[in-house]
Structure 1
Amino acid sequence: MTTQALRNRYVTDSVSTAPPAQLLVMLYDRLVLDLMIAGQALEAGETATSSSRVYHAQEILMELRATLDTSVWSGGPGLASLYSFMINELVQANVAGDRARIETVQGFAEQLRDAWREAATQVTAQGR
């Protein structure tokens, strides 16, 4: 088995066995990674790489937005609005090649990831 095949199997197994809270953190980790690479690629003049990473980040945010049940938590509508703002910023960043907008969204994504990571840790510690 090749190294890439082993890596793919590991990722597949990790995703299929992770609890829901950990899956959410994994999505945010990927979102932040995509935004970091997009910003670096844009700075290096690699617009195709930057564009594909921004697009993938948008897909993640759209999935997070689509699966958010705003009726079960009073903060849900606010989070939905933040997701929409982040998506719009990334569209504008991609069109204009604006690294500052990518970095703004990355800052929000990092804060959200850290908050969800802490929540996932607390849920795990409580044995849920």
Structure 2
Amino acid sequence: MITTPHQKYQQTQLQTASPSQLLLMLYDGAIRFIRLGISAIEEADHQKTNTYLCKSQAVIHELIAALNYDYPIAKNLYQVYEYMIHRLIQSNMKKDKQPANEVLSYLLELRESWDTAAKSLGGTAELAK
């Protein structure tokens, strides 16, 4: 149930976003959760580490769900996303920020690439589905 103006704004933003904007929002969410997970590792807060790294994995699963296998790159992206999930699990289990930092660097690079592609196609291109 939506109770705050901020939640209403977020819902409207999601409902009116283009596919490319939704994809970028997913990347932004995964990046944010990984950064929070890394901070939690540094603070030795195991509960928050688990929460945020699991949330980032869930977002990456959404990226996998958004893949369109009509395009050959989808298979490669699937493998990259699966690798990221594997590394996040390792980071979470060992409470080691290095694997999470690795995934963060990949997500930042992919997000930048998708952003550039969306801008070059006019921002309304259907990148994910």
What TM-score results when the alignment is normalised by the length of structure 1?
A: 0.89
Please state if 1:109 is matched with 2:85. Answer: no
Equivalent residue number for residue 39 of structure 2: 40
- Counterpart AA for 1:105: V
How far has the Cα of 1:24 moved from its partner? 0.2
Deviation digits for residues 38-88 of structure 1 (CA, Å, limit 9, x no counterpart)? 101110111111111100110111121133122x22222111100010011
Distance in 2 between the 1:69 and 1:20 partners?
12
Instruction: Give ranges in structure 1 of 5+ residues lacking alignment.
Output: none
Structure showing the higher helix proportion among its residues: 1
Equivalent residue number for residue 29 of structure 2: 30
Q: Secondary structure at the match of 1:124?
A: coil
RMSD: 1.5
Deviation digits for residues 5-45 of structure 1 (CA, Å, limit 9, x no counterpart)? 11111111111100111000010001100011110111011
Q: 5 Å matches for 1:94-105?
A: 94-105=92-103
Equivalent residue number for residue 49 of structure 1: 48
Higher RCO by CA contacts (8 Å cutoff, separation 6 or greater): 2
Q: How many residues align?
A: 123
Equivalent residue number for residue 87 of structure 2: 89
- Counterpart AA for 2:11: T
Instruction: Give ranges in structure 2 of 5+ residues lacking alignment.
Output: none
What TM-score results when the alignment is normalised by the length of structure 2?
A: 0.88
How far has the Cα of 1:120 moved from its partner? 1.6
Distance in 1 between the 2:16 and 2:49 partners?
31
Distance in 2 between the 1:123 and 1:16 partners?
21
Match of 1:77 among 75, 78, 84: 75
Distance in 1 between the 2:60 and 2:53 partners?
11
How far has the Cα of 1:97 moved from its partner? 0.6
How far has the Cα of 1:123 moved from its partner? 2.3
- Counterpart AA for 1:51: N
